[in-house]
Chain A
C-alpha cells in the first residue's frame, strides 16, 4: 500500500516520463487509497507538468515530448476528474477556445486547453479553422469568462481582431487571450486582447506557469 506522497510522486513521474499506462494506474491507485482527487490532480499531474515546463525551458524537452506528457496527464485526469466534488454554490468558470479560421494548427491551443481542463473549468473547444462568427456566437451563448483564440501564422491572426471587437462590444467583461507564433504583446494590445502567449513553446511555458499559479492558489498561497 502506497502513501499519499508516494502516489503523488508516481503521478508526477508518469507525466514527466510520458508513461500513459503508469499515469492511469497511479490515478486509479489514488482513488482506491482515498487520496483527494483534486490533490491528485494538482500535486500529482499538474506538478508533473510544471516539471515538464522546466525541462522545456531548459531545452531538455521539446514539443514532441511535451505532447506525450500531455497525453499521459489526460490519462490520469480522465480517471480523477469524475470524482472531484464541485462546490455547487460557486459558479464554474468557463472558457471558449479554438484556432481561428484559416489555421489548421492546434498544438498550442490544445496545450492551453489542458491548463483549463486541469483547473476544472468548463471548456468549450470549438476545434480549429473556426469561422469568426462561431467564436462570437458561442461566447455569447455560454457567456464564458474567457475567450481564447490561437493563430499559428501571421496570415490568420488578423481575424482575431474582428472577433475581439465583436465580443467586446456585446460582452465587455469577457477576458480575451490570444496565442500563436505571430502574436506579440504589441499585437495583443493593438487588437484589444487581455493576454497572450507567443507560440506553442510559449503556450507550454505560459500554460504551465498558470497551472503553477493555480496550485499556489489552491494551497492558499495566493489570495
Chain B
C-alpha cells in the first residue's frame, strides 16, 4: 500500500473515507518564522507578494511535514479591497499582522464597492493560490474567509456593530445580510479557483461576545446561507472562544466539518453531535507550540485532543509564527503516530 499524499489524506478525511493516519493540516494561518528566515525575507513582506505568500506557505508545510497549506495570513484583505486601508507595519520590529485602519464608524456610512474583488490584494492572493497549486500539487490547498459577522466587524467599528445589534436591529440585520453576500461571493470565487477546502472563520461570534439568542437570529442564518453556497468543495465552520452553548446551532449551519478551540468541551460536543460529524480542533497554538519547554507536554496535549474525539487536530487559532521547532515536530509526529487509530467520524485503511 503506497502512502497517501497530504492532499489525498485531507480529501479522504472530508469524505469520511478511511485514511492511513490522521491528516495534519490547518484552516488557520500556519506560516512559521523558520520558513520566512529560510527564504531570507521578512514577515511584513509575505502579505503583499504572491510568490512570497505562496512560497512561505509551501515552505512552512514542507519544513514540518504538514498535509496542507492555507492562505492568506491576515484578515484585512477584504476590508482593504473595500477601501478601508491597510496597515502593514513594514518598519515595526517583530511579527505584526496587517490591520484595517479606517473602518466605517456608522451604519449609514457603509458603501461596499461593486468591484472590490479586483481591488487591493485580492487579485494577488488569487495569484498565490495558482502558484501553490502548480508548485505543490501533493498538498491540500485551503482558503479561508471571514464569516459575515466577523467580516462586518472588520469593515466597521466592532463596538458600534455590537451596540447596533440591540439599538438598530433592523438596520444591522440588513447590513449583515449585505456582508453575507460578500462572504458568499468570496467562497464561490475560491471554489472556482479550485481550492481543496474553505474554512469560514466566524471567530468573533462566540458566546464570549454574543448571547446564544443573538447568535441564533443574527449569525446562524447568515452562516447557513454561506455554507449552502459552498457546493463544490468541503467547508469548515470555525469559531474560536466559547462555543459550548452554540455548538448544536453551528452544526445546523451545514458545513462539512466544525472547528473549535481549546475553550470547547469536545467530549460533551461529541455527545451532543454524535460520531458522524467531522470535528477539528482544539489546542491552544501559542502555548503549545511557542511556549512549552518540554515536548512531552506537547504530545500530551495533542493526544488529549485525539482522545476527546477530534477527527483532525487543528490549532484553535493562527499558529504564532515564532514556534519552537521541537514543539511543532512533536505536534505533527504525535498526530501521525497517535492518529493511526480511527477517529469518531473517520476510519483507517
Given contacts A63-B162, A64-B162, whether A155 and B97 have CB atoms under 8 Å apart is yes
Given contacts A63-B209, A64-B165, A110-B159, whether A154 and B87 have CB atoms under 8 Å apart is no
Given contacts A102-B89, A107-B159, whether A62 and B210 have CB atoms under 8 Å apart is yes
Contact of A62 among B96, B97, B211 (CB under 8 A): B211
* Chain B minimum-CB-distance residue to A190: B291
Q: Is B318 an interface residue (CB 8 A)?
A: yes
Q: Is A68 an interface residue (CB 8 A)?
A: yes
Q: Is A129 an interface residue (CB 8 A)?
A: yes
* Chain A minimum-CB-distance residue to B29: A155
Contact of B210 among A63, A132, A199 (CB under 8 A): A63
* Chain B minimum-CB-distance residue to A102: B96
**Cβ proximity bits A152-182 to B, threshold 8 Å, 1 near / 0 not:** 0111101100100000000000000000011
CB of B82 to closest CB in A, whole Å: 15
Contact of A154 among B89, B101, B209, B318 (CB under 8 A): B318
Q: Is B95 an interface residue (CB 8 A)?
A: yes
Indicate if the CB atoms of A101 and B96 lie closer than 8 Å.
yes
Residues of A within 8 A of B286 (CB): 154, 182
CB of B129 to closest CB in A, whole Å: 23
Cα A62 to Cα B166 in complex, Å, equals: 11
Residues of A within 8 A of B159 (CB): 67, 106-107, 110
Cα A181 to Cα B245 in complex, Å, equals: 19
Indicate if the CB atoms of A62 and B317 lie closer than 8 Å.
no
**Cβ proximity bits A58-73 to B, threshold 8 Å, 1 near / 0 not:** 0100111101100100
Q: Is A105 an interface residue (CB 8 A)?
A: yes
Q: Is B141 an interface residue (CB 8 A)?
A: no
Q: Is A79 an interface residue (CB 8 A)?
A: no
Cα A158 to Cα B320 in complex, Å, equals: 10
User: Among residues 311 to 349 in chain B, which have CB atoms less than 8 Å away from a CB atom of chain A?
Assistant: 317-318, 320, 322
Contact of A159 among B94, B162, B214, B245 (CB under 8 A): B94
Indicate if the CB atoms of B96 and A156 lie closer than 8 Å.
yes
* Chain A minimum-CB-distance residue to B94: A158
Indicate if the CB atoms of B96 and A155 lie closer than 8 Å.
yes
Residues of B within 8 A of A119 (CB): none
**Cβ proximity bits B187-222 to A, threshold 8 Å, 1 near / 0 not:** 000000000000000000001111100100000000
**Cβ proximity bits A190-202 to B, threshold 8 Å, 1 near / 0 not:** 1000000001110
* Chain A minimum-CB-distance residue to B91: A131
User: Among residues 285 to 327 in chain B, which have CB atoms less than 8 Å away from a CB atom of chain A?
Assistant: 285-287, 291, 317-318, 320, 322
- Size category of the binding interface on chain B: 35 or more
Indicate if the CB atoms of B97 and A102 lie closer than 8 Å.
yes
* Chain B minimum-CB-distance residue to A128: B99
* Chain A minimum-CB-distance residue to B87: A129
User: Among residues 59 to 89 in chain B, which have CB atoms less than 8 Å away from a CB atom of chain A?
Assistant: 87, 89
Residues of B within 8 A of A125 (CB): none
Among B87, B95, B163, B167, residue most surrounded by chain A Cβ atoms (within 10 Å): B163
Cα A62 to Cα B320 in complex, Å, equals: 29
CB of A206 to closest CB in B, whole Å: 14
Residues of A in contact (CB 8 Å), total 34
Q: Is A104 an interface residue (CB 8 A)?
A: yes
CB of A208 to closest CB in B, whole Å: 16
Q: Is A145 an interface residue (CB 8 A)?
A: no
Q: Is B158 an interface residue (CB 8 A)?
A: yes
User: Among residues 79 to 121 in chain A, which have CB atoms less than 8 Å away from a CB atom of chain B?
Assistant: 101-107, 110
Indicate if the CB atoms of A64 and B166 lie closer than 8 Å.
yes
Indicate if the CB atoms of B208 and A199 lie closer than 8 Å.
yes
Indicate if the CB atoms of B96 and A159 lie closer than 8 Å.
yes
**Cβ proximity bits B85-121 to A, threshold 8 Å, 1 near / 0 not:** 0010100111111011101000000000000000000
* Chain B minimum-CB-distance residue to A156: B96
Q: Is B18 an interface residue (CB 8 A)?
A: no
Among B89, B101, B158, B287, residue most surrounded by chain A Cβ atoms (within 10 Å): B158
* Chain A minimum-CB-distance residue to B321: A155
Residues of A within 8 A of B162 (CB): 63-64, 67, 107
Contact of B320 among A101, A105, A131, A155 (CB under 8 A): A155
Contact of B163 among A64, A155, A156, A199 (CB under 8 A): A64
A residues near B (Cβ < 8 Å) are 59, 62-65, 67-68, 71, 101-107, 110, 129, 131-132, 153-156, 158-159, 162, 181-182, 184, 186, 190, 199-201
- Name 15 extra pairs, CB < 8 A, besides A110-B159, A156-B97, A158-B322: A62-B209, A62-B210, A64-B166, A64-B209, A68-B167, A101-B92, A102-B89, A102-B92, A129-B87, A129-B99, A129-B101, A155-B318, A156-B96, A186-B287, A201-B209
Can you list 13 A-B pairs with a CB-CB distance of less than 8 A? Answer: A62-B211, A62-B214, A63-B209, A67-B163, A101-B92, A102-B96, A103-B99, A104-B100, A155-B97, A156-B96, A159-B96, A199-B208, A200-B208
B residues near A (Cβ < 8 Å) are 87, 89, 92-97, 99-101, 103, 158-159, 162-163, 165-167, 207-211, 214, 241, 245, 285-287, 291, 317-318, 320, 322
Which 10 A-B residue pairs are closest in the complex by CB-CB distance?
A: A102-B96, A64-B162, A62-B211, A154-B286, A63-B209, A155-B97, A104-B99, A201-B208, A64-B166, A64-B165
